[in-house]
């Protein structure tokens, strides 16, 4: 069998090679540009739906890219400009110093910073600046990711002020107020409750609620509280409270459950009480006196009835004596006509 001849490849001229290389380069360049275009479109699509403010700046801190511009500025207002062109001098000086440090040290910086918008209002931002590197790994600018947290911070401040107000309201209220969690652990114990029981807040916080009830009524009290956890609302209920000195005071309570946003998860129970120990004693004393008076009245009525019966019997007896005298032809012995004589 004759071996097949292998034809040598035709040599390629330099001119032809150049055409091929240029063609390949153009093709690769086209693919690269297309990939970059698609990447930019994807980036724009993602960032246009984010609440974050994203920026890119060069070494001169000129804005190259802005997403979700803030402070009443537009992208057009910012591109190609520096912070000194668009911010107040104080804000620009402060933020430029931070950005320079990020570029010079190649170290990210996380910060929360206030800025003045076009209408003169302060806006709060929270985020980070990170160094941007070129293909050789050299720092050639920075990237910033920030979120406007003005409303969040205002809400947090309002919540803090409300919490402080409620804390002071509870702590300094004259009425005894106590708060416990779903595990019956005491979490708040105000001054009114300290005065009622003699316990200090730091002595009772974290303790089980049952510690506050005397042995003879503890089970009944805990049963009532268990029902309140299941949604039963206390308008007014009397519960004996065990004091630090071993004494017992009677308190009139109402309570309310605090639920999570789902309206079902119990977070805590808050109860407000009124010391009715002295009032109860006064009521019992009044009842005792009323009972004594009732008995005295009954005795007096029995005495009056007895006296009236005796008098009636005496009158009847006198009439009988007078009748006997009349039969004997003698005048009556006793006066029995009690009507007023005309």
* 262 backbone dihedrals φ, ψ, rounded to 5°: -75, -10
143-172 average pLDDT score: 85
Region of poorest pLDDT, from 29-38, 152-161, 207-216, 277-286: 29-38
Q: Quick one: pLDDT at residue 21?
A: 35
Report d(CA 71, CA 85) in Å as an integer: 14
Q: Which two tokens mark 334?
A: 């006793």
Order of all β-strands in the sheet with 186-189? 186-189, 177-180, 266-275, 248-259, 237-242
Angle (CA) 81-84-90 rounded to 5° is: 155
Residue 68 confidence (pLDDT) above 60? yes
Average pLDDT over residues 192-211: 92
Assess whether pLDDT exceeds 70 at residue 339.
no
Query: Under DSSP, is residue 151 helix (H, G, I), strand (E, B) or coil?
Result: helix
Give me Rg for the CA atoms of the chain: 49
Confidence of residue 336 (pLDDT cuts 50, 70, 90): low
- Give the least confident one: 34-43, 187-196, 225-234: 34-43
Give pLDDT, residue 97: 95
Bridge-based pairing of strands 139-148 and 53-58 is: antiparallel
Task: Report d(CA 214, CA 243) in Å as an integer.
Answer: 9
Query: Is 90 exceeded by the pLDDT of residue 46?
Result: no
Q: Tokens 């803090």 identify what position? A: 160
Overall pTM > 0.75: no
Short-list 63, 83, 35, 42, CA closest to 132:
63
């Amino acid at each position: 069998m004759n071996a097949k001849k292998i034809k040598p490849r035709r040599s390629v001229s330099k001119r032809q090679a150049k055409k091929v290389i240029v063609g390949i380069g153009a093709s690769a360049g086209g693919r690269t540009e297309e990939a970059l275009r698609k990447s930019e479109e994807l980036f724009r699509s993602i960032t246009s739906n984010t609440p974050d403010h994203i920026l890119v700046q060069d070494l001169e801190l000129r804005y190259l890219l802005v997403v979700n511009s803030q402070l009443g500025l537009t992208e057009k207002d910012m591109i190609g400009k520096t912070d000194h062109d668009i911010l107040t001098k104080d804000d620009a000086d402060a933020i430029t110093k931070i950005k320079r440090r990020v570029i010079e040290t190649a170290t990210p910086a996380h910060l929360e910073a206030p800025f003045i918008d076009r209408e003169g209002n302060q806006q709060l931002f929270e985020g980070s600046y990170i160094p941007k590197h070129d293909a050789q790994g050299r720092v050639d600018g920075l990237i910033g990711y920030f979120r406007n947290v003005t409303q969040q911070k205002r809400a947090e401040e309002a919540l803090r002020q409300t919490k402080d107000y409620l804390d002071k309201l509870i702590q300094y209220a004259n009425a005894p107020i106590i708060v416990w969690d779903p595990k019956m652990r005491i979490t708040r114990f105000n001054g009114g409750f300290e005065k009622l029981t003699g316990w200090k807040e730091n002595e009772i916080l974290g303790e089980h609620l049952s510690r506050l009830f005397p042995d003879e009524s503890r089970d009944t009290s805990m049963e009532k509280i268990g029902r309140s956890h299941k949604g039963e609302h206390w308008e007014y209920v009397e519960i004996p409270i065990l004091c630090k000195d071993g004494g017992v005071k009677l308190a009139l309570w109402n309570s309310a459950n605090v639920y999570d946003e789902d309206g079902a998860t119990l977070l805590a129970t808050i109860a407000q009480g009124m010391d009715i120990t002295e009032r109860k004693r006064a009521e019992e004393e009044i009842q005792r006196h009323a009972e004594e008076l009732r008995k005295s009245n009954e005795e007096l009525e029995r005495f009056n009835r007895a006296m009236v019966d005796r008098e009636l019997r005496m009158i009847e007896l006198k009439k009988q004596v007078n009748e006997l005298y009349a039969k004997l032809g003698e005048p009556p012995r006793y006066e029995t006509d009690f009507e007023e004589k005309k």
